[in-house]
Amino acid sequence: MKYTVEEFAREIRKLYPGDYNDLSDGTLIELWLKKYPQDEEKLIHGSPYKSDEERTPILPKARTQVYRSSEERAPMKVKKGNSILLILFFIVLASVGGYFLIINNSSREYLASDRISQTPTKTSIPNAVKVIHILPLGAVHTEYIEEITSAIKKFYGYDCIVLPPAKPTQDIMAASNMRYEANKVLKKYNSNDYLLILTEEDIAYPNEKRKEKEWGVFGLGNMPGTTCVVSTFRLRRTNGNLVPHELFMERLDKIVLHEIGHNLGLNHCTNDPVCMMCNTYGTIEEVDQERVWFCDRCKKQLH
């Protein structure tokens, strides 16, 4: 017997009543076919995706740097005529201390200090943590790891240490056995060091308020604590359609920085809808509305 996507999704929901109310039909089928690829032949039109390439974002070409000789690796030499101007330039900068620079990078705004101060000002991000460990859970694109490492450094000023990937095990699976349970992931990998766990698989947790056994989430973090988990699974699409790669990466940055905020003791923000700690509705549209920025109230809570 052949099914449409809607019919097949309905049959799955009959097997697991109440478990997949957070998923669209297409996303549910994607999860199911990852675990049972042989069932693709049961669909009238095959997989709900036109090709395997549509299951992951289109990646830009690898950013590689090629050196022809060892000389090219050395810093660029400054002509004598320009050296005096550079010295004067840095003297002027040194005389204007404590200013903050907004760096705009591909429509993403980062608040960063131009110098390191042991006594943070009211608008700076505290640097007491200093190091975030990143643990890939299963196969994770290297580009995603490089992206969040850069975002953490730019926003919080923290260095990152990337750990060897952890192999997913049965003990972190949700009841449906089709995605990870975020609470189990946090419990298994709880660390004395600050640890961010990154996975490309879907994650969920029991949501008592919604009376759902499995409620899919972008990420989950202990508050306060040292461990959080983030999934890229729900960030790649809006209403079932792939989003541009830059938007996907921006979403990933925001969720990562949001969950680290929980680890640092920040609750969800009700002060400003564009604050990165805002989570009034928990939708991807809300994430897109937010800036990579903390409102004054959230920044004050960090001190």
**Residue-wise burial string across 153-182, b where 16 or more C-beta atoms lie within 10 A, e elsewhere:** ebbbbbebebeeebeeeeebbbebebbbbb
Angle (CA) 97 100 105, round 5°:
140
**Residue-wise burial string across 18-36, b where 16 or more C-beta atoms lie within 10 A, e elsewhere:** ebbbbbebbbbbbbbbeee
Angle (CA) 156 164 193, round 5°:
45
Residue the block writes with tokens 């972008």: 218
Angle (CA) 235 261 287, round 5°:
30
227-231 and 237-238 as β-strands: parallel, antiparallel, unpaired?
A: unpaired
Decide: helix, strand or coil at residue 169: coil
Burial classification of residue 7, based on how many CB atoms lie within 10 Å of its CB (0-12 exposed, 13-18 middle, 19 or more buried): middle
Cis peptide before 165 (omega within 30 of 0): no
Contact 290, 251 (CB under 8 A): no
Cβ neighbours around 183 below 10 Å, total: 16
Run of H or E including 207: strand 203-207
Residues known to be catalytic:
259
